[in-house]
Structure 1
Amino acid sequence: MNYFEAVILAIIEGLTEFLPVSSTGHMIIASSFMGIATEPFVKLFTIAIQLGAILSVLVLYFKRFFKSVNFYLKLIVAFIPAAVFGLLLSKKIDELLESPLAVGISLFVGGIILLFVDKWFNKPTIHEEENVSYLTALKIGFFQCIAMIPGVSRSGATIVGGMSQKLSRKVAAEFSFFLAVPTMFAATAKKLYDFYKEGHTITSEQTNLLIIGNVVAFIVALLAIKSFIGYLNKNGFRIFGWYRIIVGLAIIILLLTGHKLQII
């Protein structure tokens, strides 16, 4: 991986982390086009730079993280399912991270679901985060587990999960952002542990790539979050659904016609 590839992946991460289109899926496809998808450091990079994007949540919602102890307890409860399933299925998840076909199928199926989400869950009763119960937080946490399949979208799964529990689009989206903080910190720590356990080391140049990637992802995500919340409140999910369907179909067709989605 070179610096140009690192910046491109970081921009993709910052733009897509909080959209229901799957940041991981987009980075898998982009790294496949670049011919670097199977490199161990690239797998670490695509997880680790999500921290940069997640830190934008801490900056934009700084006061919310000092509001009450219940806020943190809800996030812990919602995080537990992903922590358990992540540990149990880590090897299978790593295998799927190399599969553009899995991404294509997930994007397509998820796109169809997003076309109807606004009609299915159009009568929210929870308009403030304070009214989210612990049980509701746990249910949203189980939705997050679905996003372990590349291409599903962590934010998409948790936002839809929140809306299914009567949260408004805005509250569901914001709770998804908050839940990303412990989830991505844990995912990065686990990925670093596995990276070293497998006998790899991080060079000084790779350290620089990680720093640059996180900084770029952070800046881009800052701009993306507010835009997404505003658009979502006014227009809903349909455009994201159509986008996923088109991209997913394109990936599936390319693969079925013999393309490797990899540039050597």
Structure 2
Amino acid sequence: MDASALLSALLMGIVEGLTEFLPISSTGHLILLGELIGFEGPTSTTFKIAIQLGAILAVVVVFWRTLLDLALRAWRPGPERFYAINILLAFLPAMVIGATFYKVIHDALFDPYVVCAALIVGGVAIIAIERWRPDASIRSVAEIGPLAALLIGFGQVLAMIPGTSRSGATIITALLLGVERRAAAEFSFVLAIPTMFAATVYALYKARNDLDMSGMAQIGVGFVAAFVVALLVVRWLMRVIARIGFTPFGWYRIALGTVMLAVLTLG
């Protein structure tokens, strides 16, 4: 394994960690970066799936107290039960629709031009919703009701289009429903655990014939990089999101999508 292969794996892992939980689309960034650096790995699809587990682990570490409370107390009446039920309700749409249309979505939409278009459209949506969203009436995750949770889950379905952003789709849907920014971010991050884990396991199963032990060094480097960077990003975002909002990410999406569209068009 040469140094350039490990360096490309490191770059991919860093980008995964940076983008997975920001509303800017990790899948879109990985597709675009892979195109730019000509990434080749154990198979690029298998590599991208595996390093997502590093990002998932970061969220588990950040929210371990919340997850422990849910595991211990969701079995009896109380706020933890409502929290767990809402996560399940928000998870169901993506599970059902994703499992049904996985191949169609992957074959038809995993394209750099689709990513660029989704980045730009999503950026405009974020800016517009941040400007005209209703006043926050739901101040904590415990106040999110079952209907709101289910609607957030249907918002998450939009993230199956690469470039849309899973966290962006869920957070923006939550803001439209009157959820306060920090609560919207927390719900999105905790929802990511079952969603991303299920998607990763399913994708690994679909790619099982491509799996082998070659390229394990690349996968290891990408996994660790994604974990460390995602850990820092999630902790930072939870501290500052109430103050900075999501508008800067919207402008970033528009700028990146426009520049990359020009690069792709010009060859």
TM > 0.5 between the two?
Answer: yes
Contact 1:19 1:156 in 2 (8 A): yes
Q: Which runs of 4+ in 1 moved over 3 A?
A: none
AA aligned to 1:2 is: A
AA aligned to 1:76 is: L
Contact 1:96 1:150 in 2 (8 A): no
Cα distance in 2 for partners of 1:164, 1:95 equals 31
Shift of 1:222: 1.0
- Give the equivalent residue in structure 1 for 2:60: 58
- Give the equivalent residue in structure 1 for 2:121: 109
Matched, 1:49 2:61: no
Shift of 1:31: 0.6
Identical aligned residues as a percent: 40
Shift of 1:73: 2.3
Shift of 1:97: 5.8
- Give the equivalent residue in structure 2 for 1:32: 35
Secondary structure of the 1:33 match is helix
Structure 1 alignment gaps of length 5 or more: 260-264
**Is 125-134 or 28-37 further displaced after alignment?**
28-37
Contact 1:96 1:102 in 2 (8 A): no
Contact 2:118 2:163 in 1 (8 A): yes
AA aligned to 2:122 is: G
AA aligned to 1:7 is: L
Cα distance in 2 for partners of 1:134, 1:206 equals 43
- Give the equivalent residue in structure 2 for 1:262: none
Matches within 5 A, 1:222-241: 222-241=231-250
- Give the equivalent residue in structure 2 for 1:182: 194
- Give the equivalent residue in structure 1 for 2:20: 17
AA aligned to 2:50 is: A
Which of 203, 216, 222 is matched with 1:207 structurally?
Answer: 216
Q: Give the TM-score normalised by the residue count of structure 2.
A: 0.90
Matches within 5 A, 1:1-150: 2-36=5-39, 41-68=43-70, 69=74, 70=81, 71-96=83-108, 98-150=110-162
Structure 2 alignment gaps of length 5 or more: 75-80
AA aligned to 2:222 is: G
Render the CA deviation track for 1:107-130: whole Å, top value 9, x for unaligned: 011111111222222411111111
Q: Give the TM-score normalised by the residue count of structure 1.
A: 0.91
Cα distance in 1 for partners of 2:263, 2:221 equals 32
Cα distance in 1 for partners of 2:251, 2:89 equals 33
Shift of 1:217: 0.7
Contact 1:40 1:195 in 2 (8 A): no
